[in-house]
Amino acid sequence: MTSRKWVHLFWTTLVLGGALTLLTSFVVKADAYAQVLQPFDFFELIGLLLFFSGLGFIFSIISQMGFFAYLTVNQFGLGMFKGLWPAIQVFLIVFTLFDLVYFRYQAADEGASLWPYLLTAFALLAVSYVVARIKRKETNSKAFIPALFFMVVVTTVEWVPALQSEGQDYVWLMIIPLLACNAYQLLLLHRLNNKEPKSK
């Protein structure tokens, strides 16, 4: 990974995070946009667009920090646990999905349904599975479990600040750009590393 490739990865991921968060805010925070459109307030609207774009940039940076932290942890795990590392990653995936359902349900109001928490965990696993399958297809079979681990465990860790907030707005506002940025980095990395320099 050269510095030029890293800069390309950084800026494209940053733009992706900002754009997706802004687009998601049109749905999740539609009431906030409605307030500045009726009556129309141009400066309030610009401020709102800048706020959600900036929030997306922050989510993107969190995603990138998580990605490079994962690359370090994966190398550490391979060196320390060797052949046991894939099994440990599978255990952590299952444990994370269980926690994502159990602890959120325990913190919910009394009488809340368990189904939304189960569906959230299942949706995260489904998206992660698809990304991991693509990663395996484009690289090798050994990449499946690490890719699934990254998409499930690391994404959930990055998602914690939104999960701890009150209300569901920021839960959805954060997870969509996080998933997209994480998948983008994971699937772009081997393409950047395999890209050969153009002949003169």
* Residue spans per domain, the chain: 3-194
Binned at pLDDT 50, 70 and 90, residue 199 comes out as very low
List pLDDT tens digits, range 174-189: 999 999 999 999 999 9
Burial class (CB in 10 A: 0-12, 13-18, 19+), 146: buried
Residue 109 has pLDDT above 80, yes or no: no
> Tokens 């990449």 correspond to what residue?
143
Contacts of 185 (CB under 8 A, 6+ apart): 9, 13, 63, 64, 67
Statement: residue 1 has pLDDT above 70: no
Q: Please, which pLDDT band fits residue 163 given cuts at 50, 70 and 90?
A: confident
Tell me how many degrees the CA angle 2-19-45 measures, rounded to the nearest 5: 140
Range ranked top by mean pLDDT from 40-49, 71-80, 124-133 = 124-133
What residues contact 46, with CB distance under 8 A and at least 6 apart?
Answer: none
Higher pLDDT, 22 or 113: 22
Q: Report pLDDT for 101.
A: 92
Q: Is 40 helix (H, G, I), strand (E, B) or coil?
A: strand
Q: How confident is the model at residue 160 (pLDDT cuts 50, 70, 90)?
A: very high
Q: How confident is the prediction for the chain on average, in pLDDT?
A: 90
Rounded-to-integer distance, Cα 109 and Cα 44, Å: 34
Residue 118's pLDDT band (boundaries 50, 70, 90)? very high
| Predicted confidence band of residue 4 (pLDDT cuts 50, 70, 90) | confident
d(C-alpha 186, C-alpha 26), whole Å = 27
Residues 105, 117: contact at Cβ < 8 Å? Answer: yes
**Distance between CA 127 and CA 132 in Å, rounded?**
9
Percent of the chain with pLDDT over 90: 69
